[in-house]
Amino acid sequence: MTDIEFIQKMPKIDLHCHLDGSLPLPTAKRILKDLGEEWDEERLFEEMGVPDDCPSLAAYLACFDLPIRCLQTADALEMCARDMAVKAAEENIVYLEARFAPSTQLLGGLSVREAIEAVDRGLKKAERETGIMTGIIVCAMRHLPEETNLAMFRQAREMLGAGVSACDLAGDEASFPMHGFRNLFEEAIRLGLPFTVHAGECGSRANIREAIDLGALRIGHGTAASGDPALLELAADRGVGFEQCPTSNVQTKIISDFSGSPVREFMQAGVPVSIGTDNRTVSRVDLTEEFSKLSAFAGLTREEAEKIYFDSVSMAFAGDGVKERLFRKGRDFFGPSAPGRESGL
């Protein structure tokens, strides 16, 4: 089996995938047509895809303006969730956690609950059609008022285990550092909402440390922890997993290229790692490509890909039944582990 065949055939898990940033182009075209706007896919590709000369995370986030405008009705959210998950299943993603910010989808008159329910319906459709397993992570946004984020968490708590799997904090990390969100995550803990946090995506190790101290079970990106043995030891000791998204990290200039990815450094430090797409459409990437580039440019081995799969199962915000099914799928494909294997993918 060639390298690319192995990557294509292996079961994959995406724990870091934004719904709005992964709005499929044909779906966006249909939604915009319903709004009375005619767009061709080439124009959509240019509008929604990150430019090659993207200078920063803030510029990257500007690519979300059109997708967010598209996703303001229940039908649009349901369609996007279904189509994104079906597309993911086509590349043998067996479990997908779709994250979105319900508070940004209310311009059409939806409530937070209605927005979450629409995404859940779409994901459930994809599950029935393809067999993929899914969960929802609801995102608070750094630029929104604290009360807006708190109200969203409280509403999401009512759906925990019935669509919602966990919560998150996303947005412009450099402009809104972690120390301003202590109240938000103290409330998440009080509510019993497990959470991941976008941190270390703008170079701040302090944001990662504070997120861990506040009780984050996972860190979105965490790339800034590279080169900090004490911080990696803290994450490893507490079992905090890092959701790595190499392509978007290159695009936002967090790392210079794939050879600079800290994935292997984190694994060698004992930190659980998953690989995610971040934004399938905005970053113009899928999970097969993420693994292929890590293999080609960072030397990721089959043994390491196997470990990432099983670490991802353990990191997932999923129930025991789903995790057992995922462990079984992994054992069926990878078979007995082969410690010490040095061959590349």
Residue type, position 188, single letter: A
Whether the CB-CB separation of 18 and 198 falls below 8 Å is answered with no
What are the structure tokens assigned to 220, written together? 């979105």
Sign of CA dihedral 180, 116, 154, 238: negative
Beta bridge partners, 274, equal 243
Output the CA–CA distances (angstroms, integers) from residue 71 to 138, 220, 256, in the order listed.
Answer: 15, 23, 33
Q: Pick from 281, 266, 280: which is nearest to 315 by CA?
A: 266
Give the SS3 label for residue 217.
coil
What are the structure tokens assigned to 156, written together? 């999401």
Whether the CB-CB separation of 322 and 280 falls below 8 Å is answered with no
What are the structure tokens assigned to 157, written together? 């708590």
Which single residue is written with the structure tokens 């270390």? 200
Q: Is 324 a catalytic residue?
A: no
| Other beta carbons less than 10 A from residue 46's beta carbon | 9
Please list, in sequence order, all residues whose beta carbon lies within 8 angstroms of the beta carbon of residue 298, skipping any fewer than 6 positions away: 246, 258, 259, 261, 263, 264
129/107 Cα distance (integer angstroms): 30
User: Considering 78, 173, 201, 304, which one is annotated as catalytic?
Assistant: 201
Which residues are catalytic, by number? 201
